[in-house]
Structure 1
Amino acid sequence: MSTPTRTPTGAPAHLTGPGSGGVGDSAQRPDGVLKVRGEFAYGSDLWMEDMLWGVTLRSPHPYARVVAIDTSAAAQLPGVHAVLTSEDVPGEKVYGLELADQPVLAVDVVRYQGEPVALVAADHPDTARRAAALIRVDYEVWEPVTDARTALGHPTTDALHESDAEVTELSRESAHLHPEGNLVRHLKVRTGDPQPTAEVVVVGEYEVGMQDQAFLGPESGLAVPADDGGVELYVATQWLHVDQRQICSALALPPEQVRLTLAGVGGAFGGREDLSMHVHACLLALRTGRPVKMSYNREESFFGHVHRHPATMRYEHGATRDGQLVYVKAAIWFDGGAYASSTPAVVGNGGTMGIGPYVVPNVHVDCYGAYTNNPPCGAMRGFGSVQTAFAYESQMDALAAELGMDPVELRCRNAMEQGSATPTGQVIDSPAPVAELLRRLEAMPLPAEADGEVDLRHMPGGVSNTTHGEGVRRGVGYAVAYKNVAFSEGYDDHSTARVRLEVVGGEPTATVHTAAAEVGQGLVTVEQQIARTELGVEQVTVHPKDTTVGSAGSTSASRQTYVTGGAVKAACEAVRGQLLARAERLVGRPVPDLRLAGGQVVSDAEEIAVPLADLLGGEAVEETVQWRHRPTEAIDPETGQGFAHVQYAFSAHRAVVDVDTELGLVKVVEMACTQDVGKAVNPQAVVGQIHGGTAQGLGLAVMEEILIRDGKVVNPSFTDYLIPTILDMPPMRVEVLEYADPHAPYGLRGVGEAPNISSGPAVLAAIRAATGLPLARVPVRPEHLTGTS
């Protein structure tokens, strides 16, 4: 049996980057060269000589009772070492990110197509797949529930005017997919006059399809049994410690016997927050006594992780004749799919920020998350705010048209600023430059219109020679959005960092150890930059991410630079404090301006310079710090009032599109973005995040959607699930603002999610401007533009 210290090929190593670049510099990534050369080891590259391969048998039905499972034929196939069902799960048979409602393996009911039913371990992946195909499962197939409003028993029209009591009663009457009913969460926001009136009213109903995270590295990991009866799991994930908690529960093992190490992650965007193959690989490894690798193919990946919630939204905006918002009413339905995942938090974000970054005195919002028999939905970049932004920004454009007002002017007239109150009653106590972001966008020059002969490659569909420019119309659209940073509503959001300073090879070297997952966003670089800034050293090594240090929380909610960055900063400060105290003892007196710089303890005033290498000698200084941002609070369940979010990020986009109105084809000509980041810790990485978020927002606006028919996914491949390519992404103008948040480390704001929220609505606004069509659903398809739908 494997020992706890055995390491597979491709396991993560310490990362030591170039020895320059502190906070505010575009420091080089220590993993960058490896990735460009194709030498970086991802989770799917893990290997051990004696390992087995694990495969999952999944349900072909979205809703059915499991009558019987016969594994005998699979178990008898040569090369098969284990076949497991729910009866073989030693601990709790359900798990969940927020609610424990999802079976490790189906017990008696399957609630979505692709639900895991059985596991196989074999000495070759083809053998494992053949064995899985031999497992006989008898199902009693039931009619799936595939619409969130139907699941809740809600009316499909005029729901804005249902009373709370009527809606609650309707929810009770719906058929239950789970014992407690189909309602995951209902969030209410109530402020101001409950029956407001306005001179101008616009009403709209909007729909957003199911988007996939489309990360390039499928789910993968390697479980290695240990001599102490435990297991080591090398896995591509976003949250090592919450994975550990759920795995321990299923395996009935204590945390000290379930050790996780982060494998190379090929993108995440929220899709790795939930468990996929984690428990399955561990179960097979413990049963066989051999290392077990599991790596999904692309089709299985579509079934193996959560997606962005589809949403249906009904909005009513009331304003004065001069464009001042009087009230917003909204009813929002998120389809959570078969299991809860992070639906409660998505509902929290969608509801509390569901009217946009505007000052509105009277707000009446109902936001629902529902169980259905569609694939489970959970975290994805933008997390509840993406869907509502399409609705409220469409409403602002509709209101501007009704008033005969410029859309940017209407937005600026109602924009939040520092000191404004959100619909939850929270006063924004840091810069909120909403109007400035829009004005800066408006001032940017527009791309030139075609003059004379046009290169067909620049036309909608021109790359495939489908248009010669007939019927092409240009449109320009704007959108602005905001997004909370970090965990909210009273969650104990914290991170742990261990920092060690010692002399290595004659040079002072810092080692930073956190469990914060690097998923491609550049966190390891940020950790190095902070250590260089705070400790004044060139060499900084980042320890592999694992559970031998305290939790750093999830790599989500745009929180890691803020929260783990704060923890690294605090741990470095503690190390620095020890060193400065040691230096003062050496000097024999307090020195007020003593600091660390250039590998020395220095004082300009007293001309002191003590090399750190001399001060440390053969000793190391190490500190471990658990760091928290200021606390948030749970909101009132009846009014939605409370200090829900610790920080907000603001972004705005302008989109320029050409639309072939005869063929229904769209070409995004240019995207421009302005965003306040508080402090650009790594300016080049910040711009990269803005480009990436913009691409995903554009994708949802015009092409990305998981298509579900009767609960079944019909396009689980990159052949049929389309994402933007280099031919779809236009040139971008990016302007970064740095208005410091006084409550955050270095004044920074989380960056990654905000551009994903405002980009899509800007593209939709531009298409509407080009076509004159209302376009209330995304992604926009050719038939929506040509009237053939």
Structure 2
Amino acid sequence: MTTTAVGTGTTAGIGTSPQRPDGTLKVTGEFAFSSDLWADRMLWGATLRSPHPRARIRGIDLTGALATPGVHAVLTADDVPGDKRYGLEHRDQPVLAIGEVRYAGEPVAVVAADHPETARRAAARITVDYEVLPPVVDSVAALDPSSDKVHESGNLLRHVPIRKGDQDVTAPVVVTGEYEVGMQDQAFLGPESGLAIPAEDGGVDLFIATQWLHGDLAQVVDCLGLPPGKVRLSLAGVGGAFGGREDVSMQVHACMLALHTGRPVKMVYSREESFYGHVHRHPARMWYEHGADEDGKLVYVKARVVLDGGAYASTSTAVVANATTLGVGPYRVPSVTVDGYAVYTNNPPCGAMRGFGAVQACFAYESQMDRLAEALGLDPVELRVRNAMEPGDTMPTGQVVEGPAPVAELLRRVRDLPPVTARDRAALGRSTLDLPDPRELPGGVANTTHGEGVRRGVGYGIGIKNVGFSEGFDDYSTARVRLEVVGGEPAVVVHTAAAEVGQGLVTVQAQIARTELGVEQVTVATADTSIGSAGSSSASRQTYVTGGAVKAACEAVRAEVLRRAGRADLVLTGGRLTDPDGQVVADLVDVLGDESIEQTVEWRHRPTFPLDPRTGQGDAHVQYAFAAHRATVDVDVELGLVRVVEIATAQDVGRALHPQSVRGQIAGGTAQGLGLAVMEEIQVVDGLIRNPSFTDYLIPTILDVPPMRIDVLELGDPEAPYGLRGIGEPPTISSTPAIVAAIRAATGLPLRRVPVRPEHLTGT
């Protein structure tokens, strides 16, 4: 997808909010997503999946599928031409099941046919002889040496110990708690889909909705047994991601079928299949102990965190590192003892999701801070402020917090933000507080509540999130910028492999080019693997890293322009070169002439380092981001119904490159945290997903999302391009504990599990 973003010189540069080039198309339904792809002579692919969470495969009979008219290929693990396993961090996941299935929904065979329904019917006619085995479904029990092993290597994927300060310290005030977070789905708009087209050189072109083109490429080429030059990936329209597209799903399957049949093959998952076809947020069980002195100053935190990674590794080893290194929150804690475990089970695989381990830990440590405030008789915000970290403090890993860390300020801001008034609500099309609309009461339009048993509560939460990849990962992005003359006017083309997944990255790249080169017309080329990697659109890193790469490439182009002009003190603005006094010296078109200027740059942030495997000490992270929330809820304590009335949030974004998008990201992340707090959970019973649809897996709608007050701070990070700070994930982290704290305040119940269900509030 090549997009041209046209502004008015530098007036559409950073710090402004130009219209997104894909915005109108998406709102009107005209945007082409990957599921809309089409090619001549195209076949359709379908997948046969295991109905069992654990079983041996004694035999596969393909006869029924092969005999189906219209079927062109039926492939199993025996047909995988290269490596038979893939994986982001550990190559432990079979392309197609090899002798055993380890979760319900694991791909066993793929089919290509001339019609999607034919492909699905043929897949259903494959007969698999399974020897069903008892699944390992309890993550804590899986750590017991006597447990059945999901993999021969054992069930422990990674243990991360964090040891800071005196390990034998005691405190006069101690609170303990056990907490649980359910499995959450990314619930993105567009299910997995893509189109693979065989090429004349024996390779394949794959048009795919993904978060990480080069991450996919590295796995696909190995599984196909082809050199990288013969596999080319281009980004197709992506309908959201939130971590669920970081892992390979149907990429290898579509390419195998295309190469086998010699025809284009398109695969599109149904919504139900999508629930099986991508990773989810790790369910977590956590045990915490906080010790403080009589003034409320934290003395120590001890914790044990167990994450259920499901059947395959995905990014579990990195997620558990985040959950532990960020596991005490944005607080000053002299003594830390944390053990984090990522565990294999026969549950659905889990991996990246917005917040990446920090979400689970934040629910636990913020719940603990509320319990500690209650034990001390302190206001919950005051307790947090007394312990808020500041620049120069050290993390549990020993890493010094550099740059702004406005933890106390964010807390005070959300506390002091005025509540939404009747006039505010009327402006938003909501009822006034004096005349309640049934839609504004717990239970919503069902009107099951009339207000008799409704109690109001207010709660707070604050979280911390790392930005970028960690622990020594070579985290960089590549950008190519070309300045040329088109139709007598200067124009810029920006090319990266960064995946636009809905976050507005295409717009930001154009804004940076306009700011640095002073040119109105900027085209952002389709992201593909013909250029060097940009890494994944995850970890709140793309604006930081790819933005940094585009900025650096533009600076290199500008330097060449000034060299040609013979003056290093000139400024590029509005397609002209001006001197320091603002006088026009030359037109950019005249300087360029018939020759374009092109520069390709790899850009890296400051390095990170692996954690010490014994103590968890090390400078593991690039940058930290913070957000705070205040939630107001109404709870019908008789019916167990919850209505989030209002949310206030404050977040330091470093520098708002596109202020409107920044506010949208904060609002969207907050809504996702709301979903985890009161409604979103994949129900897994004995390894089987019981609610793989949006009929039974509920996500917030416009009627569930309350008015929000958003307070944006811009405290520039001197290490980051333009001083920016990653913003996409922090709102999701602290909104959940704030909402649950508000429900506790309304009900007086401990509520140590999310999502909060009606039965948790009524005792039924």
Offset from partner CA, 1:192-249 (integer Å, 9 cap, x none): 1111100000000000000000001000000000010000000000000010010001
**1:204-215 matched pairs, under 5 angstroms:** 204-215=177-188
Counterpart pick for 1:137 among 111, 128, 144? 128
- 2:459–2:630: 8 Å Cα contact kept in structure 1? yes
- Aligned pairs for 1:76-95 (under 5 A) are 76-95=67-86
* Counterpart in the other structure of 2:2: 13
Structure 1, residues 459-515: CA drift from partner, whole Å, max 9, x if none?
A: 111411101001100000000001000000110000000000000111100000000
User: What SS does structure 2 have at the residue aligned with 1:47?
Assistant: coil
Q: 1:169 maps to what in 2? A: none
2:94 is aligned to 103
Provide the residue aligned with 1:625 in structure 2: 601
Partner of residue 119, structure 1: 110
1:549 maps to what in 2?
531
Equivalent in 602, 610, 614 of residue 634 of structure 1: 610
Match of 2:407 in 1: 434
Distance, in Å, in 1 between the alignment partners of 2:435 and 2:715 is 45
CA distance in 2, matches of 1:381, 1:295: 24
In 2, are the aligned partners of 1:496 and 1:549 still within 8 Å (CA)? yes
Equivalent residue pairs, number: 753
CA–CA distance in 2 between the matches of 1:522 and 1:466? 40
Q: Does 1:235 align with 2:213?
A: no
Q: Does 1:322 align with 2:295?
A: yes
1:32 corresponds to 2:23: yes
Shift, 1:34, TM fit = 1.4
Tell me which of 273, 280, 287 is aligned to 2:246: 273
Structure 1 counterpart of 2:652, which letter? D
Q: What does the per-residue CA deviation read over 1:384-403, in whole Å, with 9 as the maximum and x for residues that have no partner?
A: 00001000000000000000
**Runs of 5+ in structure 1 lacking a partner?**
1-11, 154-171, 585-589
Give SS of 1:336's match. strand
RMSD: 1.1
Is there any run of 5+ residues in structure 2 with no aligned partner, and where?
Answer: 423-431
**1:342 lines up with 2:315 in the alignment:** yes
Any idea what SS the aligned residue of 2:137 has? coil
Contact between 2:4 and 2:521, CA under 8 Å: does it hold in 1?
Answer: no
Could you say which residue in structure 2 is the equivalent of 1:7?
none
Letter paired with 1:539: Q
Which is further off, 606-615 or 236-245?
Answer: 606-615
Report the AA paired with residue 633 of structure 2.
Answer: V
> Offset at 1:173?
4.0
Matched, 1:150 2:141: yes
Deviation at 1:453, TM superposition (A): 5.0
Residue 503 (1) aligns with residue 494 (2): no
Q: Percent identity?
A: 69
Q: Distance in 1 between matches of 2:582 and 2:193?
A: 57
Map of 1:303-702 to 2, 5 A cutoff? 303-447=276-420, 453-584=435-566, 590-591=567-568, 593-605=569-581, 607-702=583-678
User: 2:726 matched to which residue of 1?
Assistant: 750
2:60 alignment partner in structure 1: 69
Q: Which residue of 2 aligns with 1:709?
A: 685
The answer to which of 441-450 and 361-370 deviates more is 441-450
TM-score norm. by structure 1 comes to 0.94
Structure 1 CA distance, aligned partners of 2:4 and 2:102? 42
In structure 2, what is the equivalent of residue 6 of structure 1?
none
Amino acid paired to 2:698: L
Deviation at 1:447, TM superposition (A): 3.9
Judging changes above 3 Å, is the alpha-carbon distance between structure 1 residues 661 and 237 closer, same or farther for their aligned structure 2 residues?
same
* Inter-CA distance 477–581: structure 2 relative to 1 (3 Å threshold): same
Of 245-254 and 13-22, more deviation after overlay is shown by 13-22
Q: Deviations over 1:270-317 (max 9, x none)?
A: 000000110000000000000000000100000000000000000000
Summarize deviations over 1:13-36 as a string: whole Å, max 9, x none: 343344451011112111112112
Q: Which residue of 1 aligns with 2:426?
A: none
Contact kept in structure 1, 2:329 and 2:362, CA below 8 Å: yes
Distance 1:276 1:453 in 2: 50
Q: Do the aligned partners of 2:5 and 2:20 also contact (CA within 8 Å) in 1? A: no
CA distance in 2, matches of 1:454, 1:759: 25
- Three-state SS of the structure 1 residue aligned to 2:12 is coil
Which TM-score applies when normalising by structure 2? Answer: 0.98
Counterpart CA distance in 1 for 2:6 and 2:27 is 15
Q: Is the 8 A contact 1:15 1:31 kept in 2?
A: no
Cα distance, 1:97 vs. partner? 0.6
Rounded Cα–Cα distance in structure 2 between residues aligned with 1:453 and 1:679: 40
Q: Kindly provide the amino acid, as one letter, of the partner of residue 576 in structure 2.
A: Q
After TM superposition, give the deviation of residue 594 of structure 1 in Å.
1.4
* Contact 1:220 1:236 (8 Å CA) reproduced: yes
Paired residue type of 2:708: M
1:602 shift after superposition: 1.3
Deviates more, 1:13-22 or 1:358-367: 13-22
Question: Is 1:51 equivalent to 2:33 in the alignment?
Answer: no
Please give the secondary structure, in 2, of the residue aligned with 1:389.
helix
Q: Evaluate the alpha carbon distance shift between residue 15 and residue 62 of structure 1 in structure 2; reply closer, same or farther with a 3 A threshold.
A: farther
Q: How far does residue 737 in structure 1 lie from its aligned partner after superposition? A: 0.2
Q: Which residue of 2 aligns with 1:4?
A: none
Where do 4+ consecutive residues of structure 1 move more than 6 Å?
A: none
**Once structures 1 and 2 are overlaid, which stretch shifts more, 370-379 or 35-44?**
35-44
